[in-house]
Chain A
Amino acid sequence: MPVVDVDPDELRRLTGHEEKADDELIDDLFALGLEFEGETEDGLLQLEFGPDRLDRLSVEGVARSLRYQYGDDRGVYVPNTNDPDWTIEVEESVPAERPYVTGAVIRGVDLDEDALDSLIQLQEKLHATMGRKRKKGAIGIHDLTMLKGDVLEAGADGNSITYRGVDPAGDRFVPLDSDREMTPADVLDDHPTGETYAPIVSEYERYPAIYDEIGLFSFPPVINGRRTEVSTDSRNLFVELTGTDQWTIDRMCNVICYALDARGATVEAVEVAYRDGTLRRPDFEVETKTVAHERIEGMLGVELDVAETVDLFERSGLDAVADEDGDVTYEVSIPPYRTDVLHPLDLVDDVGRAYGFNDLDPRYPDVATVGSRHDRSKLEAAARTSLVGLGFEDLLNFHMISEVENYDRMGLDRPAATVQGDDALVGVESPVTITEPYSEDYTMLRTWALPSLLMVLENNTHRAYPQDLAEIGLAAGADDDEPTGVAERRTVAAVLARHDATYEDAKSRLAAICRDFDVELETPATEHPTFIDGRAATVVIDGASVGVIGEVHPRVLVEHDLELPVAAFEFDLDALA
C-alpha cells in the first residue's frame, strides 16, 4: 500500500485544530482508515492510505477528511470556478494512443516550501496510482506567467495552447533538470526521467507535446520544460493532464484543484477544444446515486432513523435528501473528487465509517451449515499419517523450481515439448514454465518432488543422520488436454539418507504404505538415469504404473554434495485411493 508523508503542523493548521497532539491526530487518522507507519527524518508522519480515496494523497485532502470527521464541515463542497480564459486546442496530429487532455488554471496560489512539496508529492502519488505510472494519466503543472497563449482567432477572447503530436526529433526545448536544448527523442535517450518513462511513448509515431506561442513547453507524460518551472514564487498555475481515458484524467485534475483550493487559490475553468466538441473543465459536476435505507440498515446490522442517516452522509462529505414516500431512499450527492463510488453500496460504506464500524456489536450468524474436508484432502492426511508412522520427517517444499534442479542435477535430459506425464519416466515431463521469470532459481513448476527432497538433503549435510524425509505435494506438467494447459497432481516422495541405506529399506516402507491402503504393489525392474542401474524399479500399484523406486546414483549424490547412500521412491497419491 502506498505511503504519503504528511506534515503534522500543516495538518493542524489546515484542519483548524492547532491544539491536537501528534498522538491524537494519529488515532483520529486510524479511524479514517489511514494507518501510521512511522516518521520521516524531518518529522513528517508517514501514513499508509487506501487507493480508494485518492483525494487523501495530500495533507490538504487529509485535512478535509478530518474536518468532516470532526463535524467542522458537512455536506458537499464544490469550489467556485471562474469563467474560462484559456483554451486547450487539440490538434489532429495528437497520437491516437494518447488522445485525451484536460486541465485548469489556478490563480492566487501561495506556495511556500511545504505547500510546494505537498503539491509535488500529490502529483507523484496520483501518477503512481490512478495514473498507472503516468501511462493512463500524467500531470504537468506550469507557471502561468511564463506561458504566452496564442491569441485566438479574430473575434474570440482569451489565450490558447495546443496539444499536438510531433516528430520525435522534430523540435527542441530545454527540459527540467537540464541546461541544454533537446529533442523529445533526445530526452528519451539521454535524460534520466526520459529513460524511465520512455516505454510509454517510444513506440508512438508522433510524440505528445504541448505548445504555446513561444514553443514546446511540455512533453507529456515524460517531462516539462524549464521555461514554465513552478517555484515558491509562482502565483498562477496552469495544470494540464494527458492520458488514455478522459474520466481518469478529469478526476485526477479535480483532486489537484481541490487541494489548491484548500490553500486559498481560485480555480478558473479552461476549455478543451476537441475536433468534435468542446468540454469545459475542470468537471465539477456533482453526480447522484440512490441508496435504500433498508440496505444501510441491512449492511450495518443496526437500526437508524432518517435524521441520523442524513447526518452520517453529511459527515462523510456527501449530501443526502431523503424520500420518505414508501420505502425510504436517499438521493445522495457525490463530490467530484471521489473516484471510488461505482455503486450505491460505496456510499453505504461511507455511512458505516462515519458511524464507526468498531462500535458495532459482533454477532454470530444464525445459519447452520455442515462442515467437511474434500476427499483428496482426507486421502493426503491419511497418507501423511502413514509416512510419519514409518518415521519420515514430513516436509513442505516449493512447487516452483529451475530446469537445472528439476532435470540436470538429477541426471535427466530435458524433455521435448510434447512429453506427457503418462508416457515418460517419472520426472521427465514437459514443464510448465514461468513467463519472463526474475529469478533463475524459479522458472518452472516441478514435474516431480524428488529434486526438492535432494535439495533439502544438500542444504542439511550439517544436521544429524539418518535423514528420512518425505513430502506429499504438487507436481505439474504441460498438457494441452487440460483446460488450463497444466496437468496438476499430488505426488508422494520419500528419501532415506543413512550410512546403510539400501533399496530394501525404501521398498519395505513403500510396501508398508501400500498395505495401509490395501493396494497391491509390484516393482518390475526399470532403467532410470537418476538411479543406479539394476537397482531401480517402476512402482506399480493395482496394476498401474505410478512411480519409481531405487537407489540414487552416486553421480547425483556427488552433485548434491552428499556423502552417503540415498534410497528413494516417488508415486502418484491417487494410486492409494
Chain B
Amino acid sequence: MRLPESQVAVLEAASATEERTIEHVSEETGLKPETVTGAAFDLEDAGLVSVSTTETVSYTVTGEGETYADAGLPEVRLYRAAVDAGADDAPVPMGAVIGAADLDGQAVDIALANYARKEYGEVASGEISADPDVDPAADPEATTLDALLAGGESGDVEAQDGDGDREVLDQLVRRGLVERTERAVRSVTLTDAGVTALMEGVDVAETIDRLTPELLASGEWQDVAFTPYNVEADAPERRGGKVHILRQTAERVKDTLVGMGFREMDGPHADAEFWINDCLFMPQDHPARTHWDQFALDVPPMESIPDDLVERVRSAHLDGVGEDGQGYHSPWTEEVAREVDLRGHTTSLSMRYLSGHEIGELEPPERFFSVEKVYRNDTLDPTHLLEFFQIEGWVMAEDLSVRDLMGTFEEFYRQFGITDLEFKPHYNPYTEPSFELFGTHPETGELIEIGNSGMFREEVLRPLGVECDVMAWGLALERLLMLMYGFDDIRDVHGTLCDLDLLRSVEVLH
C-alpha cells in the first residue's frame, strides 16, 4: 500500500491498544497538528484508524486571580483584619478594619460582597462582626486558586470536571479570577485494518506539486498523490487592460442616446467663431467670447464659410429676425466671425448640421448628439479642466413645446438613475426659453444641477434655414462622472496628471 508521507507517519505513530492524542502524535512525528488531524481523517476515511473526540475543560488563573492568590482574597483579608480588631467578640466599626485589611476602591465592595456570601460574619450599620468558627485558611476558593497555580508551569492547569469542586471553580470564573476554556481533543487508534496494513508494509507515496503533460501521457498520474494547496491564500495580483472610466461613461451615454433615436455628429475641434458663437446669436462683444474664456489659435481666418449664410447671420445680429425682431446693439464684423478658436462647446457641430452644410439639408424629425471634447480657458483646479467632454443633444420637429423638452430629458436622466427633475428658468443668448436642469442624486438624495437646456431662438434657426422647432441640451460628461463616482479631483482622472492607481481601482461601469 502506498500512502502520502504524512499519513504513513500518523499510522506508524498510532497504537491499536491505546488512544493517542493528536498533540502526542504531532510531537512524535514532528508534523504540525493540522497536518496530523488532516491525515488522521483521511486514514479514518480509508478505515485504517478511528478518530475519537473528547471534550476537555481547562482552567487558567487570570492576572487578577494571581494577585489574590498572592495577597489573599479580599474577603479573607477582611476577616483576618476583623478578627484582629476583635470583631469575633463584638461588632467593630468598619472603617478601621478596612484600612487594616489594606483594601480600597473596588476591592472594598468585592470584599464586603463575598464576606456576606460566605457568611464570614455580618455587616450592618457601618459595623462588622466576624464568625469565630470560620477557618480562612480553609477557604475553598483560595485553596483551589493555589492548587491551580501550583499545578502548571505557567499557571495553566488542565483539570477535568471531576477535579476540585465544580461549584467553587464556577465561582472563581464568575469573579473573573479564573478562565475556563473548553477544547476538543482528538485521538487516534489503529483499527484492525490499520494493523494489518502496517504488517503488510506501507510505503510513502510520491506527492507531487504540478500535474504535467508527461504524467498524463505516461499514466503515472495514477500512482501519485497531489500536495494539497492552501486554497484560501491570496494569489498574485493580476491586472488586465481596461477602458478609461470616462470613456466607459461616454460609451454609456452614447448607447443611451442611440437607443433614444439620436444620431452622432462629427466635426472639427478647431473652428471659426462663426460656427462656434455667431450662428448661436452670441453678440460679438459678449464676455464669453474674449481671450479670457476661449483659446484663439494662431492660424489664418477661415475662408470657406458660405457667403449667404454669413450675410443672414450678420443681419440677424444687427436687425433681428421677423417683424418685431431687433438685433443686438453690438458691432458685428466678418473679421471676428472668421477667426479660428478651439470650440468652447460642441454646439458648433449642431450649427453645422442644422445649416445643411455638413451632411445635407435636414428635414424634421431629427435627433442628433455628440459626446466630445471642448476647450475653455479656465483655471485648472479640482473641479475644472481646460478641456473636457460635453454631452450635447438636440431634437428637431415640427412643433415642439417645453413639455417635449422636459419629457426627453426625464427619459435620458432616468437611465442614469437620476429622477425627479426640476426645471429652473434660466438665460442663454441662444435659447428661449432656457432651463437649468436639477435632479435628485441617486445616492445622496441632494438636488444637484445636471444640465442646461432650451429651445433655440429664431435668430439662430432662421438664418440657418430651419423653419421648425429645435430643442437642445448639454451637460459636462465629467459632471455626470463626478456625480456617479464622487471623485475628489478630476485631474486624477482626466489628463496627463492622472493617477494610474485610481484608474486601475475604479469599479467597472455597468
Contacts and interface: CB of A to CB of B under 8 A. Distances in A.
Judge: A and B partners, yes or no. Answer: yes
Contact of A349 (B247, B258, B403, B432): B432
B93 interface: no
A33 B270 contact: no
Given A371-B259, A387-B241, A434 B296 contact: yes
Interface in B386-426: 386-387, 395, 397, 399-404, 406-408, 410-411, 421-426
Contact of B365 (A368, A376, A394): A368
B246 interface: yes
A300 B423 CA distance: 13
B365 A384 contact: no
Contacts of A412: none
Given A299-B401, A299-B433, A456-B500, A468 B407 contact: no
Contacts of B239: 393, 464
Given A132-B285, A456-B498, A365 B397 contact: yes
A488 interface: yes
A119 to B, nearest CB: 23
B241 A343 contact: no
A364 B432 CA distance: 20
A290 B324 contact: yes
Contacts of B411: 364
B241 A395 contact: no
Interface string A343-358: 1111011001100011
B501 A345 contact: no
Contacts of A400: 295, 375, 386-387
Interface in A355-393: 357-358, 360-365, 367-374, 376-377, 381, 384, 387-393
B264 A360 contact: no
Contact of A396 (B342, B422, B494): B494
A463 interface: yes
Contacts of A132: 285, 287
B141 interface: no
B463 to A, nearest CB: 13
Task: Output the residue of B247, B270, B397 with the most chain A CB within 10 A.
Answer: B270
Contact of A352 (B257, B268, B285, B402): B402
B302 A484 contact: yes
Contacts of B244: 394-396
Given A360-B402, A486-B268, A396 B322 contact: no
B270 A432 contact: yes
A485 B340 contact: yes
Contacts of A376: 266
B194 to A, nearest CB: 52
Nearest to B459: A343
B203 to A, nearest CB: 45
A527 interface: no
Contacts of A435: 291, 295-298
Given A362-B406, A371-B263, A467-B500, A33 B426 contact: yes
A379 to B, nearest CB: 11
Contacts of A301: 401-404
Interface string B355-388: 0000000001111000001010100100001110
B235 interface: no
Nearest to A460: B500
Given A394-B242, A432-B299, A245 B329 contact: yes
Given A342-B326, A352-B433, A52 B304 contact: no
Contacts of A397: 495-496, 498
A457 B341 CA distance: 30
A400 to B, nearest CB: 6
Contact of A371 (B246, B258, B397): B258
B270 A486 contact: yes
B427 interface: yes
Contacts of B287: 132
Interface string B71-100: 000000000000000000000000000000
Given A343-B459, A394-B241, A368 B261 contact: yes
A483 B271 CA distance: 9
Given A343-B322, A368-B261, A300 B402 contact: yes
A484 B271 contact: yes
A406 B488 CA distance: 29
A367 B330 contact: no
A369 B299 contact: no
Interface in B463-510: 493-501, 503-504
Nearest to B243: A394
A187 B83 CA distance: 105
B233 to A, nearest CB: 20
Task: Output the residue of B340, B395, B399, B402 with the most chain A CB within 10 A.
Answer: B402
Given A432-B297, A483-B303, A442 B386 contact: yes
Nearest to A478: B299
Interface residues of B, number: 100
Given A33-B424, A342-B326, A369-B365, A398 B495 contact: yes
Contacts of A348: 432-433
Nearest to A389: B241
Contacts of A556: none
A346 B302 CA distance: 33
Contacts of A460: 498-501
B215 to A, nearest CB: 31
Contacts of B320: 342-343
Nearest to A349: B433
A91 interface: no
B115 interface: no
B68 interface: no
B504 A393 contact: yes
B157 to A, nearest CB: 52
B224 to A, nearest CB: 35
B357 to A, nearest CB: 11
Contact of B266 (A377, A389, A445, A455): A377
A362 B422 CA distance: 11
Contact of A377 (B254, B366, B433): B254
B367 A485 contact: no
B481 to A, nearest CB: 11
B328 A363 contact: no
A434 B295 CA distance: 6
Given A343-B459, A369-B261, A488 B268 contact: yes
Contact of A463 (B266, B295, B423, B500): B500
A289 B410 contact: no
B313 interface: no
Nearest to A386: B241
A432 B263 CA distance: 30
Nearest first, the 8 A-B pairs at minimum CB distance are A301-B401, A485-B299, A367-B365, A50-B427, A301-B403, A362-B406, A388-B241, A371-B258
Given A364-B411, A371-B258, A391-B240, 20 more contacts: A35-B424, A50-B426, A290-B324, A300-B401, A300-B402, A343-B324, A343-B432, A343-B457, A362-B407, A364-B407, A372-B263, A373-B258, A396-B244, A397-B498, A400-B386, A469-B500, A480-B300, A484-B302, A485-B300, A488-B269
14 contacts: A33-B425, A51-B427, A290-B323, A365-B404, A372-B263, A377-B264, A388-B241, A394-B244, A396-B495, A398-B386, A432-B299, A469-B500, A476-B269, A484-B272
Interface of A: 30, 32-33, 35, 50-53, 132, 136, 245-248, 289-290, 298-302, 340, 342-346, 348-349, 352-353, 357-358, 360-365, 367-374, 376-377, 381, 384, 387-400, 432-439, 442, 445, 452, 455-456, 459-460, 463-464, 467-470, 474, 476, 478, 480, 483-486, 488
